[in-house]
Structure 1
Amino acid sequence: MRNTTRDLPRGPTSAQKGESTVQSVDRAVTILELLAQHGSLGVTALAADLGVHKSTASRLVAALERRDLVEQIADRGQYRLGAGILRLAGATDARLDLADAARPAARRLADLTGETVNVAVLSSGAALYVDQIVGGGRHSSYNWVGQRIPLHATSNGKVLLCELSEAEVDDILDDALSAYTPATVTDRATLHRQLAQTKVSGYAVAIDELDVGLTALAAPVRDARGVIVASLSVSGPTFRFDEARREQVLGPLLEECAEVSARLGWREIPSVGIADS
């Protein structure tokens, strides 16, 4: 008798199905990496970067969107990383709540200043950026959300460290303070002096320290106990952020930080004033 089973079309084997699943996972992760790098991209651009048909990229993006790992930007047809990525990055529920509490203030600051506003928390020896709002209709060249940024080279980092003891700061930081630009503070004693000044003034400034051409001004957000639990920063090109511009931005920044702190139960409002950076 003829063995007709040999003539029947065969479906994919278990090994082939496994390879297909792994390939889909790899492509989905690549999408997340591309969005982290570029800030936002459309399906057409993602498909081109992946080397796949647009329909394939669309299915992958839809799957990620269902998990809140990406979200569509209204009226632009582009996607960016979603809030779900923070959970996978190790953010706690408290941090997510804090990002939600700070978002209205961040939006007001971005609208008022026309600059980029970031919300950061202390996490595993770095500043974890949990939210970012870009003002003035501008498109940020980099999405910091979910990224861990060096503490010693950023205004957010200095705010997050400023009320810790020198011993606590030394325990958190690496033995060597890496230089990212010629302006990066790599001397530990100098950093401690800057942190002491930040504690007194209530804000921190970083000019060209993480990236040449980038200046940021940051202030603390406190919980009900008065402990610094986050930092809110306004950043923009150094050529726009001269001392006069920082003076304009500082008042609204401190007011919004006080507003977020009040929502978290803290009542003291920091004084407004700017010293030489």
Structure 2
Amino acid sequence: MASTNDGASVQSVDRALTILQLLAADGELGVTEMAGILKVHKSTAFRLVATLENHGLVEQVSHNSRYRLGVGVLRLAGATRGRLDVVRESRYVTGDLANSIGETVNLVILANSETLYLDQVAGPSALQIHNWVGRRNPLHATANGQVLLAHQSLRARDELIDSILDNAGHFTALTSHTVLDPETLRSKLDTVAKRGYAVAIDELEEGLTAIAAPIRGGDGDVIASLSVSGPSFRLTADRIDATAALVVEAAGQISARMGFAVPRLGRRT
């Protein structure tokens, strides 16, 4: 049974969200107006607004002491828009990639210290497709995770690696092929960054091979990973190089659609 404090907390959240909706509709409001609409004391409305202001979600208009939506709302909207944009733009590419290779194509982003699967397209060979959309997987045991790790700054990479180590200083073993040692992973990440793609064979699941490449945004930062995955008996060693080339090319096409321009070499004089 919920406590009185729980009920009050939920009510406060509801009122705070209502304030954001009111500001979105009206542009600017004073605390007295908010209190009247919410039917609460002015001090209560002020506390709610102050909390939202501390998080950058509202800001005070200096010349009239009224409040409007803050830049924090734009950051939240931008993060959501970025995810929606990369899914939308990838759809122009992933269908052809899935058909060319015959396997499942996944679009993945970094979510805290895990991978998060945003979209998936099945190839004609994927007869019993496993739905990965919405699933989170470990960074160290997936080709997507290794791509996303490899393109972090060294400091961010180390922080992420440290966050997923167990008390003994190792990674969780998911199969007999999972990389357990952080230094071994760091060496693999250096290779991934240099060659432009990652390969994980039986590291997440026995019998599953995945090949992933980075997707870049307009500023050149890696914003997502594109992968092809399928049974190891189909994605055999002799197919890795050719498949990786197709994945890298497709990831580059999506990057271009996201506004990334590949730097051109200067002319020789």
- TM-score of the superposed pair, with normalisation by structure 2: 0.64
Give the drift of 1:137.
5.7
Give the drift of 1:248.
2.1
Give per-residue Cα distances to partners, 1:41-68, cap 9 Å, x unaligned: xxxxxxxxxxxxxxxxxxxxxxxxxxxx
Mapping of 1:249-264 within 5 angstroms?
249-264=243-258
Are residues 1:222 and 2:212 paired?
no
Candidates 157, 161, 171, aligned match of 2:159 = 171
In structure 2, the partner of 1:265 is 259
Mapping of 1:1-277 within 5 angstroms?
92-136=80-124, 138-172=126-160, 173-176=163-166, 177-268=171-262
Q: Which amino acid aligns with 2:172?
A: S
Alpha-carbon separation, structure 1, partners of 2:154 and 2:183: 10
Unaligned runs of 5+ in 1: 1-90, 270-277
Give per-residue Cα distances to partners, 1:233-268, cap 9 Å, x unaligned: 011111111222112212221111111001111122
Alpha-carbon separation, structure 2, partners of 1:100 and 1:140: 25
Give the drift of 1:193.
0.5
Q: Which amino acid aligns with 2:256?
A: A
Q: Which amino acid aligns with 1:175?
A: L
Alpha-carbon separation, structure 1, partners of 2:253 and 2:90: 9
- TM-score of the superposed pair, with normalisation by structure 1: 0.62
Deviant stretches of 4+, over 4 Å: none
Give the drift of 1:113.
0.8
Q: Which amino acid aligns with 2:121?
A: I
Contact 1:96 1:130 in 2 (8 A): no
Unaligned runs of 5+ in 2: 1-78, 264-269
Alpha-carbon separation, structure 1, partners of 2:259 and 2:80: 19
* RMSD after superposition: 1.8
Alpha-carbon separation, structure 1, partners of 2:99 and 2:215: 20
Count of residues in correspondence between the two structures: 180
Alpha-carbon separation, structure 2, partners of 1:226 and 1:119: 18
Give the drift of 1:162.
0.3
Contact 1:166 1:192 in 2 (8 A): no
**After alignment, is 245-254 or 126-135 more displaced?**
245-254
Task: Determine helix, strand or coil for the equivalent of 2:199.
Answer: strand
